[in-house]
Amino acid sequence: MLPKPPLTDLNITLQDGFQGEQVIIHIGDQQVYAQPDVHTKLLLGYADFIKVSVQRGQIVVGVDLPTRDLSERIDLEIHDPLFLFISLVSSKIHYFVQNEPLGFM
């Protein structure tokens, strides 16, 4: 059996609650996303989506919303493609992780 390649996909979806916030996402020390004005598309239920190739194993995802003075550190163990969903609820960053996309993907 061949070994798995060293990289896999992390799929990040910004979902509910974004109303013009600046959003910056880091994986480790690398900035992978920066947008000054993120808005949730109410009919679709999401604001934006990015796919990032990452090293398999332990990673740290940093989510910063400077305009709201909010940040979140998310520790993940990733070996196969993973889906990270991030929302802004009551001025707090909420997230969940699963192995498959949601229906709108």
> What is the tens place of the pLDDT at every residue in 64-91?
999 999 999 999 999 999 999 999 999 9
Predicted pLDDT at 40? 96
Q: 48 with 2: CB under 8 angstroms?
A: no
pLDDT at 102 over 90: no
Predicted pLDDT at 23? 98
Rounded Cα gap, residues 51 and 93, in angstroms: 20
Mean pLDDT computed over 92-98 = 97
For 30, counting Cβ atoms within 10 Å of its Cβ (0-12 exposed, 13-18 middle, 19+ buried), the class is exposed
pLDDT tens figures, 31-43: 999 999 999 998 8
The domain segmentation of the chain, as residue ranges, is 7-53
For 16-43, the DSSP string reads TT-EEEEEEEEETTEEEEEEEEEE-BTT
The pTM of the whole model exceeds 0.85: yes
Predicted pLDDT at 105? 44
pLDDT tens figures, 10-23: 999 999 999 999 99
Predicted pLDDT at 103? 65
